[in-house]
Amino acid sequence: MSVTVRIPTPLRRLTQNLAEVEAEGANIEGIIDNLEVNYPGMKERLCDDGGNIRRFVNIYLNDEDIRFLDGKATAVEDDAEISIIPAIAGGCSLS
């Protein structure tokens, strides 16, 4: 399956500054593996040493958080859109 993957600004140096790339795979794990083949270093930024998606990385399949679907095993269909969104910490003090 070929899908469009939206790449966040901090990871674009791995994709030659492309905001969107094409990737192939039957599920999210396959997509991540394919991204690694085409853009070395991507997987280590998305996954921990155990191969699990890092807790500060959010991945959406057609606007649905894969954590509420089947995680890395979430199946993808042709022409799906995947967004990688790093979690942002911060806020303001109310004191």
- CA 58 – CA 80 distance, rounded (Å): 16
Average pLDDT of the chain, as a whole number: 92
Pairing type for strands 81-86 and 2-6 reads: parallel
Say yes or no to pLDDT of 89 above 80: no
- CATH code given to domain 2-86: 3.10.20.30
Q: Which of 4, 6, 3, 11 is nearest to 54 (CA)?
A: 11
pLDDT tens figures, 27-59: 999 999 999 999 999 999 999 999 999 999 999
What does the domain layout of the chain look like in residue ranges? 2-86
* pLDDT recorded at residue 57: 95
On whether the CB atoms of residues 26 and 76 are closer than 8 A, the answer is yes
pLDDT value, residue 95 = 47
Q: Which pTM does this prediction carry?
A: 0.88
